[in-house]
Every structure is written in structure tokens, then in C-alpha cells.
Amino acid sequence: MRCGLTVFARTAVHQGRPDRVDACIAYLRDTAVPAILGMPTCVGMSVLASRTDGLAIISTAWETKADMHASVVKIRPIREKTAEAIGGGTAELEEWQIAAMHRRQHAGHPVCARVIWLRLETAGIDDLVSEFNTATLPALDATRGFCSTSLMINPDWRRAAVSIAYESTEAMDRRINGAEGRRLLESNVIQVREFDEVMPHLRVPDLASY
């Protein structure tokens, strides 16, 4: 259930050097996150980083698409300093709609995450969101150590991204019970990446119910 609310998000994917990830995390934690969260129309952000791959994904969420586009000038120098901190080049940018957001009640603090990029079937967005809410979310909620998840849609590029945060690497390695709960996460997969640093600062409300 979408609850009549659409939230827009921009992701910046920084590919850098593994030995620079901790410096990048420190810059994001101490400087970038407070600055972005202080912008009036920002409804939150999150950071995922992999010390193994030298990869960082910074997601910012906005009340409207116009707000997201208006933030570009202010965020550009922050993005450039992030790229410098991680030892990488220009970030890959992508715009999304947050179709679902769910946090498990009384979950522990997330320490790792898996992101699954999916190819969207033609005219299949509504079906994908419905299956995520009715099948995937209950299966994730039943997985010990699960913390939170989000489903983002890019209708222009015909793809989706599912981010799942866990309270331990052991929890992330657990198999989700039930074929119905796993089906969406195992179909039309483009790429899967895992992250060992999670900084959640999303103030987006829970957009899913089942």
C-alpha cells in the first residue's frame, strides 16, 4: 500500500579506492550528512559503503521532484569532495521514486546491507510494488536479524533497486524463507552488491503495509 505518498530520491554512486573508504565515511559523517540533512526540503539520506570494493552509494530523499532538482547546486560541491575523499572520479547519478519503505519494529542497528538491482518488465511496475508489499516484506520481517528495506523505481530506465539492511553479516547470509518471498529478489536481477557500512538517516515514513 503506497499510502498516497510519493518521495523522490537521487543516488550518487562513487567508485574509489578501498583504502580511502574510511576517510570518505568520516567526511560524510562529520560534514556531508549534517549539511544535507539541514536542507529544508530534504527528508533524509543514507550512506552505504564497501571497504572491499571501494564503493560508496549516497542516497538523498526529497519531498518533490522540483525540490530534488533545486538541490543540485548546493549538493554538487559536497559530491565533489566526496569523490576526492574516496579517491574516485565523477559519481554516477540516478533519480528514483521511493515506492516502499519498511523498518522492522525493535530491530537492532544495521551494520551491513545488500542492494539488488532489478530489470523492470514492461508495464510491470504496479505488479512489482504489490508483490514486494504482499510477499517480500512479510518474508523479510520473518528473517532474524533483518532491520529495514526500501524499494526504489526508475521508470525511465526500466529498473528497480531493493536495499535490505541487517544487524549482522550472519543475518545477511540467512536465506529468506519461502519461494514467494524470494521470487522478486531472484528474478530479472541485474546486479547484487554488499556493503559493510550503513549510515541510515532517512526520515521517510513507512510506505508499506501488509
Question: Whole-model pTM?
Answer: 0.91
Q: Same domain for 29 and 83?
A: yes
Structure confidence by residue, pLDDT tens digits, 71-110: 999 999 999 999 999 999 899 999 999 999 998 876 778 9
**164: containing domain:** 99-198
Q: Same domain for 84 and 103?
A: no
Inside any domain, residue 170: yes
Q: Is the pLDDT of residue 187 over 50?
A: yes
* Average pLDDT of the segment spanning 165-191: 92
Question: What is residue 2's predicted lDDT score, i.e. its pLDDT?
Answer: 40
Largest CA distance in the chain: 46
Q: Same domain for 68 and 150?
A: no
Q: What is the CATH number of the domain that holds 151?
A: 3.30.70.100
Residue whose entry in the numeric block shows the C-alpha cell 530534504? 42
Structure confidence by residue, pLDDT tens digits, 133-152: 999 999 999 999 999 999 99
Q: Give the whole-number percent of the chain exceeding pLDDT 70.
A: 92
3-class state of residue 23 by DSSP: helix
Q: Which amino acid is at 25?
A: I
Q: Same domain for 62 and 122?
A: no
